[in-house]
Amino acid sequence: MNYLLSPSLLSADFTQLGRDIELCKKNGVKYLHVDVMDGVFVPNISIGIPVVKSIRKITPLVLDVHLMITEPERYIEAFSEAGSDIINIHYEACSDCAAALKKIRALGKKSAVTIKPKTDYNSILPLMELADMALVMSVEPGFGGQSFIESTLKNIEGLAEYRQKSGLGYDIEVDGGVYIDNVRRPLDAGANIIVAGSAVFGSADPAETIREFNAVLGEYEKRGN
């Protein structure tokens, strides 16, 4: 199992995206988390297709695109063409999640299904054979800088248990309120991809923070749990 950090660009400096992405790459980051919001599924608007396209041009890093949009089915092709590598759709937002996940895979991309904090992990178990990753929200989607909701650990635990039982090899990503001092909570529950926005770009020394996260992740990878 790979243990990876996926810094969320939502907290980066949008006038200096190239610089912030380069800093990530220089410090061993492999994934970049890109938050797309439509102001309908979540009460905020962030960035969209043209920005993903621009990011794609300047970096070989894996673009982990989190679609917080209503009926994401409508935009799967567009985000795929823009250069996304992983396309995360919300369970609560699509009318036919299975079809959406199949479509993502048919386009040669990694598929991921995302659940909000109050959604029970059991609702997505039937979808997991179509998904390369489950994204567990540990804050209400829409904004960076919120506090980690402890009750979401049970979603991670349930998905980790099912991963073992089913023999499926999906990743489990956690998103929201994760910092160096609480990152072991989701890791111990079974997550292996860590999204961190404020923790990285809001820190006094983002490069050092990335190295600290990678040290913890390396520990878990070595342990193989």
Chain residues that interact with ligand DX5, rule: CB under 6 A = 8, 10-11, 33, 35, 66, 139, 141-146, 175-178, 195-199
CB distance 113 to 101 below 8 Å = yes
Which residue's entry shows tokens 């990876």?
Answer: 4
Phi, psi of 17 (to 5 degrees): -60, -45
Q: Which residues are catalytic?
A: 35, 175
CB distance 93 to 140 below 8 Å = no
Could you say which of Zn ion, ligand DX5, none residue 203 binds, taking C-beta under 5 to 8 angstroms by partner kind? none
3-state SS class at 127: helix
Min separation Cβ 81 and ligand DX5, Å = 22
Min separation Cβ 116 and ligand DX5, Å = 10
- Asked if 175 is part of the footprint of Zn ion (rule: CB under 5 A), the reply reads yes
- Asked if 163 is part of the footprint of Zn ion (rule: CB under 5 A), the reply reads no
The amino acid sitting at 118 is K
Residue number with CB closer to ligand DX5 (10 or 23): 10
- Asked if 66 is part of the footprint of Zn ion (rule: CB under 5 A), the reply reads yes
Q: What is the spatial distance between Cα 8 and Cα 142, in angstroms, rounded to a whole number? A: 13
Residue number with CB closer to ligand DX5 (83 or 202): 202
Min separation Cβ 96 and Zn ion, Å = 22
Contacts of 208-216 with C-beta under 8 Å, sequence gap 24+, read 209/180, 210/5, 210/7, 210/23, 210/24, 210/27, 210/28, 210/29, 211/27, 211/28, 212/180, 213/5, 213/180, 213/183, 214/5, 214/27, 214/28, 216/180, 216/183, 216/184, 216/187
Min separation Cβ 159 and Zn ion, Å = 17
Residue number with CB closer to ligand DX5 (123 or 143): 143
Q: What is the spatial distance between Cα 3 and Cα 120, in angstroms, rounded to a whole number? A: 24
Site for Zn ion in 12-41 (CB under 5 A): 35
Which residue is nearest to Zn ion, using beta carbons? Answer: 66
Please report the beta strands in 3-93, taking only residues with DSSP state E, as ranges in sequence order. Answer: 4-7, 31-37, 62-68, 86-90
Could you say which of Zn ion, ligand DX5, none residue 139 binds, taking C-beta under 5 to 8 angstroms by partner kind? ligand DX5
Min separation Cβ 96 and ligand DX5, Å = 23
Q: Which residues bind Zn ion (CB under 5 A)?
A: 35, 66, 175
